[in-house]
Amino acid sequence: MSEHIVSPTVYVIIFAILIVMTATTAAVAFVDLGRFNIVVALVIATFKASLVVLFFMHARYIPGRTQLVIIAGVFWLAIMLSLTLVDYKTRRPESEPAPALSSMTTPAGYFAGS
């Protein structure tokens, strides 16, 4: 079988990096970076997840068509998150009154001319 066998040395190095990044993200949480705390936390988490996907899950060594499936999954997740947030983030606050409807919304108003 021509499968690519990843050496234990690589696995242990990746493991060490993951532990260091875990300690880092915990430590950084106690530093006040304002709005960037969440950004740093997510960047570190994404980096850790990428290491697991690429090395522990062998994503570097699988055929391109399977890699495409992984990318597609991430892409669909991105659509779900971004489009839903676009909806919520562009909503009018509840304290604002709704804009007045134009007279064109009833038949009488529609045919009465502008």
Partner 1 sequence: MHRTGDLFGQYQTLEQQKDSATLGMWLFLVTEVLFFGGMFLTYTINRSTYPIAFAWGSNTLDITLGTVNTAVLILSSLTMAMAVWSAQTDKKRLVTGFLIATLILGCVFLGIKFVEYSQKYEHHLIPGHNFDLSYHTEGPEGAAKLQEAFRQDPGLTAHTQLYVSLYFAMTGLHALHMIVGAGLVFWLILQSMKGRFSRSYNTPVEIIGLYWHFVDIVWIFLYPLLYLIDRHLK
> At its nearest, how many Å lie between partner 1 and the CB of residue 60?
13
Q: Should residue 42 be labelled a site residue for partner 1 when binding is judged by CB under 8 A?
A: yes
- Dihedral sign computed on CA atoms, order 102, 104, 107, 110: positive
Which residue's structure tokens are 């990044």? 21
Distance CA 17, CA 37 (A): 20
What are the backbone angles phi and psi of residue 91, rounded to the nearest 5°? Answer: -85, 150
Using CB under 8 A as the binding rule, whether residue 36 contacts partner 1 is answered as no
26 scored as a contact of partner 1 (CB under 8 A): yes
53 to 92: interface string for partner 1, x by CB under 8 A: x-xxxx---xx-xx--xx-xxx-xx--xx--xx--xx---
6 belongs to the binding site for partner 1 (CB under 8 A): yes
CB-based contacts of 69-77 (< 8 A; 24+ apart in sequence): none
Determine the Cα angle at 107 with ends 102 and 111, to 5°.
85
Residue ranges binding partner 1 (CB under 8 A): 1-3, 5-8, 11-12, 14-15, 18-19, 22-23, 25-26, 29-33, 37-38, 41-42, 44-45, 48-49, 52-53, 55-58, 62-63, 65-66, 69-70, 72-74, 76-77, 80-81, 84-85, 88-89
